Amino acid sequence: MPGLDQDTPIPSEITLDRKRRVLVVTYGERPYELSFEYLRIMSPSAEVRGHGPGQEVLQVGKRNVDILELEPVGMYAIKPRFSDGHDTGIYSWDFLHELAVHQTEYWEDYLRRLEAAGASRDSSPASGGSA
């Protein structure tokens, strides 16, 4: 995980909006709204990303996931605890900025991968979704 350097975009404000299920991350004067679902499916954790290329695990059934707690990690990241039990992703300032700036393209790619897999954003009663 990269450390802080002079080029690391540092959020000026982070706000949980539980009613709308979004994390508002502000860089300077520019707020970005990142849905809890988006943050969950893009988790930087090894259980989502794998340990190398091709090991990614498509996250399904995460439409209604909540963030129960948001813990600071030093001066460089946050660690959300999600309602589905996932709590191993550490979101560094630069990773959050990347998610914010590329949100549209990453989300569209996720929807294409879901469709190709015949999967859904909604949980199936039998499976409860992926880790």
pLDDT tens column, 67-85: 999 999 999 999 999 999 9
**For residue 34, how far is the Cα from the chain centroid?**
8
**For residue 8, how far is the Cα from the chain centroid?**
19
What is the rounded average pLDDT of the residues 50-54?
Answer: 83
pLDDT tens column, 93-126: 999 999 999 999 999 999 999 999 999 999 765 4
Burial (CB < 10 A; 0-12, 13-18, 19+), residue 81, is middle
CATH of the domain at 77: 3.30.2020.30
- Rounded to two decimals, the pTM is 0.89
Give residue 124's pLDDT. 62
pLDDT tens column, 31-46: 999 999 999 999 999 8
Range of the domain at 31: 13-117
Domain count, the chain: 1
In a domain, 4, yes or no: no
In a domain, 74, yes or no: yes
28 backbone dihedrals φ, ψ, rounded to 5°: 65, -120
Q: How far is residue 92 from each of residues 11, 46, 96, 99, measured CA to CA in Å? A: 10, 15, 6, 11
In a domain, 29, yes or no: yes
